[in-house]
Structures are given as C-alpha cells and as structure tokens.
C-alpha cells in the first residue's frame, strides 16, 4: 500500500484493500525526484509513459500486465509531473 508523506494511506475505492496498491519496487519519492531532474518533455514519456521506468502496471522484462497496479501507475504520473513543476491542470492536459 502507498502512504502519503504524512504517513496516511492513499485511498483507492477500486482496490480490494480500499487503499492504493503498488508493487514492492515502487518508490514514489524517487518518482518525484526523477520529475525534479526532468529537463525536457521527452523525459516524461520515458519515465511514466507505457513501458516507462515508473509504469508499475507493466513489466517490460516479462511483458506482464498487472491490472491491480493500474492506479499506482496513474498516481506515479501525477507525482512525476508535480516533481517536474507542472500544475495539476497542466498534467491533465498533457496526459
């Protein structure tokens, strides 16, 4: 499950647990830091696009799709974009 910086769980009403599920390798602090390091728009796709570094719902090595992590991937997009300095609306418009 994914925790916010204040320690509270991220709610996901579609999850069987009621909280956002992410794979063990998911590190949203690293996702945010990667966003902060992004210097051009092409890095967005490489990081959070399909098969990107933080596309937690897809495993590029095995080609496996994990539907339970779909929302974690979408959350990663928002975290990355926030780190890159985009507003919520800009992130929505770009996606």
**What is the pTM assigned to this prediction?**
0.89
Chain centre to alpha carbon of residue 64: 17
Domains: count for the chain: 1
Residue 38 pLDDT: 95
Burial class, 69, CB count within 10 angstroms (exposed 0-12 / middle 13-18 / buried 19+):
buried
Task: Give tens-digit pLDDT for 44-93.
Answer: 999 999 999 999 999 988 999 999 999 999 999 999 999 999 999 998 88
Containing structural domain, residue 90:
28-94
Which pLDDT value is given to residue 41?
86
User: Contact at 8 Å (CB) between 2 and 9?
Assistant: yes
């Amino acid at each position: 499950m994914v925790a916010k910086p204040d320690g509270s769980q991220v709610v996901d009403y579609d999850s069987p647990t009621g909280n956002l599920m992410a794979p063990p390798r998911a590190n949203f602090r690293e996702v945010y830091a990667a966003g902060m390091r992004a210097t051009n728009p092409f890095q967005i796709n490489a990081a959070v696009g399909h098969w990107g570094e933080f596309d937690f719902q897809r495993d590029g090595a095995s080609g496996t799709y994990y539907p339970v992590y779909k929302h974690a991937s979408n959350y990663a997009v928002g975290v990355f974009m926030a780190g890159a300095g985009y507003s919520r609306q800009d992130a929505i418009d770009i996606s």
